[in-house]
Amino acid sequence: MTTPALLDIRDLTVEFATRRGTVQAVRSVDLAVAKGQTVGIVGESGSGKSVTSYAVMRILDRAGRIADGSVHFSGIDLRAARERQMRDLRGREISMIFQNPRAALNPIRTVGRQIEDVLREHAQAGSGDARRKAIEALEQVRIARAAERYDAYPFELSGGMCQRIVIALALACRPQLLIADEPTTGLDVTTQKAVMDLVRDLTRERGMATILITHDLGLAAAYCDAVTVMEKGRVVETASAEAIFQRPAHPYTRTLMRATPRPGIGLRDLLPEGSAAPMPPSPDPREILLTVRGLSKVYPAKGGGRLFGRRRDPAGEFRAVDDLSFSVLRGESVGLVGESGCGKSTTSSMVMRLLDASAGSIVFKKVELADVPARDFARHPLRPKIQMVFQDPTDSLNPRWTAARAIADPILRFRTVSGAAAIRSRCEELARQVGLPLDLLDRFPHQLSGGQKARVGIARAIAPGPDLVILDEPTAALDVSVQAVVLNLLADLKRELGMSYLFVSHDLHVVRLLCDRVIVMKGGRIVEEGTAADVLERPEAAYTRELIAAIPHPPARSAA
């Protein structure tokens, strides 16, 4: 790079003082950002990507300190700068936007006032024109009726709108560098696209430099000029976005890149090369296992409904799921896809018999289940046959039970095996099936990693020998490399045990990898249904097309 760097980080090391001694969260990191350039920092949790940016802003919490290295911004030594000088830089020269936009705004101050605070602090506005300038800032992030929004409190706005406000706040003083720390995590994919496009357009317009911190390699590749990959506090590779995808040099980058779900690949392609046997072809499903007809869930109107801009009839009731019909064949995987609030989780809870339906029928193995109240279903003979893998592996394990106890619970309740020794050996068999090392069986959840907890949850779900397993975003809380392994495990288990899956997810790519058929939901209804390949490659409904278009498209790999 010939232009002098706007931000120049050399050999940066950040330490945290913890109870177990000093931990180096960032080690000898080098990073340069040129004027107008967009640089992505990509890494999984614990890679030190956020800490690096906090160190640049000098907003590390009190336990953390910059131990070594230098940070220069426009020639100013940020490590040596006085706090007063830093305060002038923050917000005016370097700005930052954060994950979870709603929490990033002061809940009891109107959004307009919050923008005004920043403008006034940096003497960009006086008492006379602050309001006007704040409204201008809102207009620039394309907020309609900005003058009205000025008086809104964050809780009155949607997550995507809050993120626009945060962006307005960050860009109000026209800084030269914007640091975006996981700016779209937790937002729906269509909102993510809108927010990212806005950031890209605004920063381009103003010739600003941007650092995009994300766990999503696809997102970084779609929006960045250069990408820096971090692992365990170190930079493992820096290259142009195109090069990272087409010629990843470092083995970690290759693993990460391969693990990122993308069009045109199979499940096995997610795993490191040559590490798994090829996937045998799926058996051809024939027999119907589950039939859902006219399923609805209606909640009586009472506050809260305003949160969902959803169809409500004059009586004010809220139809979370509206007249839904579909079926699942034996040995088949069906994906239930949609954005938050589309009713996919409500649907799975009803099929799971944790929630009573308002109307409709659920026929499972030729038995009508909708008549059995959810609270009595625990003792129903078909209870063991429908099981579930939960979204958050931590939350789904009783903190006071060991892994073995958690896996044994269904065995004990359904009395599939009896006798302590037999139960133990069954637990070990299950642990082997899900690839959980046997010596971890006696550990408590807090002593296990996220991936290990996910395996315990899967072992528990398959323990009673279910015919249908509902997977509720089973990998949403996991890093991509772990996700790749877990998805493959699920596919293998399905084939081995002849189960069917109902896979609930917001991520079309992940669904396509695991599922034979896909159902796209919106507003409690099905908008499209078909084979995974058809829905993804030849979507018919406009909404499906919008969803697919919103997924960040990394530069395609020519060879794949």
Partner 1 sequence: MLRILVDRLLTTLPALAGVVVVCFLLTRVLPGDTAAYFAGPAATPQAIEQIRKELGLDRPVPEQFGRYVTELARGDLGQSLTTGQPVLADLKSRLPASAELTLFGLVLALVVALPLGILAAVKQGSLADHLCRIVATAGVSLPVFFTGLLLVYLFYFVLGWSPAPLGRLDSFASAPPTLTGFYLLDSLAAGEVETFRSALAQIALPGLTLAIFALAPIARITRASMLAVLGADFVRTARAAGLSGRKVVITYAFRNAVLPVVTTLGMVFSFLLGANVLVEKVFAWPGVGSYAVEALIASDYAPVQGFVLAMAILYIVLNLLIDLAYGLIDPRVGSAAA
Partner 2 sequence: MSLAVQPAAAPAPRPPVEASGLRATLSHARHVVGDNPVTGFAFGLLLLLVACAILGPWIAPYDPLASDTSAALAPPSLAHPFGTDQLGRDILSRVIVAARLDLAIAVFSVILVFAAGGLAGVAAGFYGGWTDRIVGRVADTIMAFPLFVLAMGIVAALGNTVTNIVIATAIINFPLYARLARAEAAVRRNAGFVQAARLTGNTDARILLTSILPNIMPLMAVQMSLTMGYAILNAAGLSFIGLGVRPPTPEWGIMVAEGASFIVSGEWWIALFPGLALMLAVFCFNLIGDGLRDIVDPQRRT
Binding residues vs partner 1 (CB under 8 A): 57, 59, 61-62, 86-92, 95-96, 98, 100, 103-109, 117-118, 121-122, 153, 155-156, 166, 169-170, 303-304, 306-307
C-beta of 121 vs 139, nearer to partner 1: 121
Coil, strand or helix: which one is 490?
helix
Closest separation in Å from C-beta 131 to partner 1: 17
Select the binding partner of residue 512 from partner 1, partner 2, none (C-beta < 5 to 8 A, by kind): none
Contacts of 309 (CB under 8 A, 6+ apart): none
Which amino acid makes up residue 313? D
Select the binding partner of residue 46 from partner 1, partner 2, none (C-beta < 5 to 8 A, by kind): partner 2
Length of the chain equals 560
C-beta of 95 vs 176, nearer to partner 1: 95
CB 434 within 8 Å of CB 380: no
Which amino acid makes up residue 138? L
> If you compute the radius of gyration of the chain from its CA atoms, what whole number of angstroms results?
26
Select the binding partner of residue 397 from partner 2, partner 1, none (C-beta < 5 to 8 A, by kind): partner 2
Select the binding partner of residue 149 from partner 1, partner 2, none (C-beta < 5 to 8 A, by kind): none
Burial 394-419 (b: 16+ CB within 10 A, else e): eebbeeeebbbbbbbebbeeeeebee
CB 361 within 8 Å of CB 370: yes
DSSP 245: H
Q: Largest Cα–Cα distance in the chain?
A: 80
C-beta of 443 vs 553, nearer to partner 2: 443
Distance CA 74, CA 63 (A): 28
Select the binding partner of residue 390 from partner 2, partner 1, none (C-beta < 5 to 8 A, by kind): partner 2
Closest separation in Å from C-beta 398 to partner 2: 4
Closest separation in Å from C-beta 416 to partner 2: 11
C-beta of 268 vs 413, nearer to partner 2: 413
At 107, list the tokens. Answer: 């809940």
C-beta of 345 vs 483, nearer to partner 2: 345
Select the binding partner of residue 398 from partner 1, partner 2, none (C-beta < 5 to 8 A, by kind): partner 2
CB 51 within 8 Å of CB 45: no
Select the binding partner of residue 103 from partner 2, partner 1, none (C-beta < 5 to 8 A, by kind): partner 1
Select the binding partner of residue 118 from partner 1, partner 2, none (C-beta < 5 to 8 A, by kind): partner 1
Closest separation in Å from C-beta 67 to partner 2: 13
Closest separation in Å from C-beta 460 to partner 2: 6
C-beta of 163 vs 402, nearer to partner 2: 402
Distance CA 139, CA 236 (A): 40
Select the binding partner of residue 449 from partner 1, partner 2, none (C-beta < 5 to 8 A, by kind): partner 2
φ, ψ of residue 459 to 5 degrees: the values are: -60, -40
Select the binding partner of residue 214 from partner 1, partner 2, none (C-beta < 5 to 8 A, by kind): none
Q: Select from 144, 123, 147 the least CA-distant residue to 134.
A: 147
Q: Which residues bind partner 2 (CB under 8 A)?
A: 16, 18, 23-26, 45-48, 50-51, 54, 59-64, 232-233, 352, 354, 375, 378-379, 383-384, 386-388, 390-392, 395-400, 402, 406, 409-410, 413-414, 439, 442-444, 446-449, 457, 460-461, 463-464
φ, ψ of residue 113 to 5 degrees: the values are: -60, -35
Closest separation in Å from C-beta 57 to partner 2: 9
Per DSSP, the chain holds a count of helices (H) and strands (E) of 18, 20
Torsion on CA atoms 544, 547, 548, 554, rounded to nearest 10 = 180
Distance CA 560, CA 558 (A): 6
Distance CA 190, CA 543 (A): 10
Select the binding partner of residue 122 from partner 1, partner 2, none (C-beta < 5 to 8 A, by kind): partner 1
**Which residue matches tokens 């069009």?**
263
Closest separation in Å from C-beta 400 to partner 1: 27
**Residue 558: Cβ within 10 Å count:** 7
Coil, strand or helix: which one is 424?
helix
DSSP 154: G
**Sheet with 333-337, side-by-side order of all strands:** 386-389, 468-472, 500-505, 333-337, 517-522, 525-531
Q: Select from 56, 554, 6 the least CA-distant residue to 263.
A: 554
